[in-house]
Amino acid sequence: MVTLKDIAAEAGVSITTVSNVVHNKKSRVSPERIAKIWEIIEREHYVPSMSARSLANDHSSIIGVITHLTPQNTGSTMSDPFLSSFVDSIEKRTREAGYYLMVRSVEDAAALDEISRSWRLSGLILTGMFQDDFFEATKGLGIPFVLIDSYVNDPSACCVGLEDERGGYLATRHLLENGHRTIAFASPSIRPGGVIDQRLKGYERALREFGVTFDPGLIFTQEISVEEGKRLGHLLGERREITGIFASADVLAAGIMAGLHERGVAVPEEKSVVGFDDNYLSQLTVPGLTTVHQDADQKGILATDMIMAQLKHEAIPQRNLVLPVRLVERASVRNLNR
C-alpha cells in the first residue's frame, strides 16, 4: 500500500508538502507540483487515513448518532426497528455528503466528551434528550448538533420532533370509538417532559373527551423489547376487564400480541391492540397491527440536512420541525359496538 513517503519520493517533494496538498493547504505549492502529486495519488489509489485527516483539520469527517442511556433504559440501540430505520436514512445522507457515521449509546456527559474529543467528531445527532446536565454538556462541546424526539426549551437548538401527544390521542380515540372503555397504556419508563410523557398526555386527553376516568392502575411500564412485551402480554391476558391496549412502540405491541397468543388470548376477539411507529413489525404481526404512523426516513433526512447546514455555516430557516402522524388501520382492533 502506497504511503505519503512513497508519493513524496516520486514527486521529489517533502512529506509535509504532500500532506498539505492532500488536506487542501496549497498556498505555498506550485500548480505543477500539485498536479504531479495528484497524478501519483490517483494512479496509486491513495486514500488518506481518517486519523491523518483528523490531525490535519482538527476534526474528522464523522457524524455521531448518540442515544443517551439512563439506568431505566439499557440495551442495544440498533435493536429498536424504528431507530435502525432512522439511522439508515442518516447513513445514506451523510455518505452522499462525504461523511462517516458513528452510532453509540452514551451513559453520561463524561463519556460523551471523551468520544467527541477522541474522534474529533464534526457533529452530533442525539435522540431523546431532556433539559438537563447532559444537554448542557452537549452544548458545551462547541460542535454542531441536532436533537431528535427531544422536548428541550432552547430556541438556538435544532430539533426534529413528532406530534407525539396527537399520536397518543389518535391511538386511544380509535379504541374508544370502537367501544373500548378499559384501555391499558404500555410503555417504557415515563419521564416528565419526554416523548412517552407526551403520548401519555394524548391518551389522557382522549379519555377525557369520551368521559372515561383516568386510572393509574392501567399504566404498565417496562423496557421496550419483544421479551418484555411478551411478559406483559401474559399479565394483560389475565386482566379480563381490559379490552384495549395502546403500546407506545410497535416492537412492544408485537411482543404483547405474542404474549397474549401464548396464553390463548385472541387478538382482536378478546383484546384489541394499537401500536406506534408503523415499522415493518406492524405488517408482520398476525393479525396486522393498527398503529400510529411516523416517517422515520424523513426524520433522519431532515436531521442530516440540519447538521450539514451547520457544518457549511448556512442559514437554517426553521430550527424546530414537528412531523405529522396519522393512524393506519389494520386488523388488531375489534369494534365492540356491533
Q: How far apart are CA 232 and CA 235, in angstroms?
A: 5
Q: For the domain made up of 4-48, give the CATH fold.
A: 434 Repressor (Amino-terminal Domain) (1.10.260)
Looking at residue 78, its pLDDT comes to 53
Indicate the pLDDT class of residue 232, thresholds 50, 70 and 90. Answer: very high
Residue 61 has pLDDT above 50, yes or no: yes
Q: Which pLDDT score is estimated for 162?
A: 96
Which pLDDT score, from 0 to 100, does residue 24 have?
Answer: 65
CB 301 within 8 A of CB 93: yes
HSE-up (13 A, CA, CB side) for residue 55: 6
46 vs 105: CA distance, rounded Å: 33
Q: How far, in Å, CA of 16 to CA of 19, rounded?
A: 5
Please tell me the predicted confidence (pLDDT) of residue 69: 62
Task: Tell me the pLDDT tens digit for each residue of 296-337.
Answer: 999 999 999 999 999 999 999 999 999 999 999 999 999 999
Peptide linkage before 287 cis (omega within 30 of 0) = yes
User: Is 164-293 assigned to CATH 3.40.50.2300?
Assistant: yes
The CATH H-level superfamily of 62-162+297-325 is Response regulator (3.40.50.2300)
Tell me the percentage of the chain whose pLDDT exceeds 70.
91
pLDDT above 60 for 240: yes
Q: What are phi and psi of 155, to 5 degrees?
A: -65, -15
Same fold, 4-48 and 164-293: no
- Please tell me whether residue 219 adopts helix, strand or coil conformation: strand
Task: Report d(CA 215, CA 70) in Å as an integer.
Answer: 27
CB 115 within 8 A of CB 64: yes
Closest CA to 268 of 286, 248, 283: 286
Q: List the beta strands (DSSP E) in 52-187.
A: 62-68, 100-106, 123-127, 145-148, 158-162, 183-187
What is the per-residue pLDDT for 74? 43
Task: Write down how long the chain is.
Answer: 338
Spatial distance between the Cα atoms of 217 and 173, rounded to a whole number of angstroms: 19
- pLDDT band of residue 79 (cuts 50, 70, 90) is low
pLDDT in tens, 19-43: 778 766 666 788 888 889 889 888 8
The domain locations on the chain are 4-48, 62-162+297-325, 164-293
Instruction: Categorise residue 288: left if φ over 0, alpha if ψ from -120 to 50, beta otherwise.
Output: beta
Instruction: Give 314's contacts (C-beta < 8 A, 6+ positions apart).
Output: none
Q: 39: Cβ–Cβ under 8 A, 6 or more apart, which residues?
A: none
Query: Rounded mean pLDDT of 103-129?
Result: 89
pLDDT at 53: 52
Contact 174, 326 (CB under 8 A): no
